[in-house]
Amino acid sequence: MYKLMAIDLDGTLLNSSKNISKENVKMLQLAMNEGVKIVICSGRIFKSARIYARQVCARGPLIACNGAVIKDMETEQVFYNNTLSKKDCFNIIDICRKQGIYFHIYIGDTLYAQTLEFGAAFYKKLNEELPEQDRINIEIEKDLNRVVEENPISPSKIVVVSEDLELLSRARKKISEIDSVEIMSSFYDNFEIVNRGVNKGNALKFLSEKMNLDREEIVAIGDNENDYSMIRFAGVGIAMGNAENFIKEIADYITLDNDNNGVAAAVKKYILKH
């Protein structure tokens, strides 16, 4: 019955150590052997998400940047691209600077930040373990307004991060006053900004129409705010055991957590049950 399974990465397919368990890999490969399309649907940029998609031997389209980008994993053909306006980026940069909060900007597969911390530091460390072709380009720049202005490509996403949750909330409230952007969170210490209308649910809708699939033929699984729209869109929406409560409330099923092969358990229940 189900022909496509859309899977989030962080907090879902990846365990707390940011690895994919052997059990999850095994079950996803069995699903693909049954003819089910596996689509990684992540907040990460394409190049980063593709690393994990390859580990489960997924093929074809990949949804990145919370739905702002859909590209073919092998050919890198762009099926869908919906970027932020430069005007909105300038406003967001100004707010973040005034609030004194860390942020980074994704333009293509390059991460731009003013300081080497949080996401920039995470990817720098990850790059040390990756082959050159999979490394994320990181640029530390003091003047991000100039970077946005001079780049021919508009940013796909801006990520704001802080361990000070009051500061994070204050910055989010300010940026939410920009009515041409969407804001969502993928973890308690961040929020992510994309163009209005961009979300994983709309990306999955676009892909389903391209592949001639009905909603009822799609399973989606995730754990956080940026997964809300795709869990609502799919014929079966699954929340991880470690998901936020509001995600569990809208889900059709709650599986095990990400440290106990929750994705594998969901595959067994909905894909391999026959």
What integer is the mean pLDDT of 88-117? 97
Phi, psi at 153, each rounded to 5°: -100, 135
Q: Report whether pLDDT(273) > 90.
A: no
Cα–Cα distance for residue pair 47/62, rounded to 1 Å = 10
* Cα–Cα distances in angstroms (integers) from residue 123 to residues 36, 86, 119, 177, in the given order: 31, 25, 6, 30
Parallel, antiparallel or unpaired: strands 110-113 and 69-72: unpaired
What integer is the mean pLDDT of 31-35? 96
Q: Given this model, what pLDDT does residue 207 score?
A: 97
Name the pLDDT band for 12 (thresholds 50, 70, 90).
Answer: very high
Q: Given this model, what pLDDT does residue 138 score?
A: 98
User: Are 200 and 229 a contacting pair, CB within 8 Å?
Assistant: yes
Q: Report whether pLDDT(76) > 70.
A: yes
User: Are 118 and 107 a contacting pair, CB within 8 Å?
Assistant: no
Q: Given this model, what pLDDT does residue 60 score?
A: 97
Q: Given this model, what pLDDT does residue 78 score?
A: 97
What integer is the mean pLDDT of 192-213? 98
Instruction: Render pLDDT for 60-72 as a digit per residue (tens, 0 to 9).
Output: 999 999 999 999 9
The pTM of this model reads 0.96
Q: Given this model, what pLDDT does residue 239 score?
A: 98
Name the pLDDT band for 154 (thresholds 50, 70, 90).
Answer: very high
E strand or H helix at 117: none
What integer is the mean pLDDT of 108-113? 96
Q: Report whether pLDDT(19) > 60.
A: yes
For the chain, counts of helices (H) and of strands (E): 10, 14
Q: Given this model, what pLDDT does residue 50 score?
A: 97
The token duo for 63 is 């949804």
- Show the DSSP H helices in the chain as ranges: 22-33, 46-55, 86-99, 118-127, 144-150, 165-175, 200-210, 228-233, 245-250, 262-270
Cα–Cα distance for residue pair 113/143, rounded to 1 Å = 9
Instruction: Render pLDDT for 242-264 as a digit per residue (tens, 0 to 9).
Output: 999 999 999 999 999 999 999 99
| Domains contained in the chain, CATH given | 4-81+199-270 (3.40.50.1000), 86-195 (3.30.1240.10)
Which phi-psi region, left, alpha or beta, contains residue 164 (left: φ > 0; alpha: ψ -120 to 50)? beta
Q: Given this model, what pLDDT does residue 274 score?
A: 54
What integer is the mean pLDDT of 105-109? 95
Q: Given this model, what pLDDT does residue 218 score?
A: 98
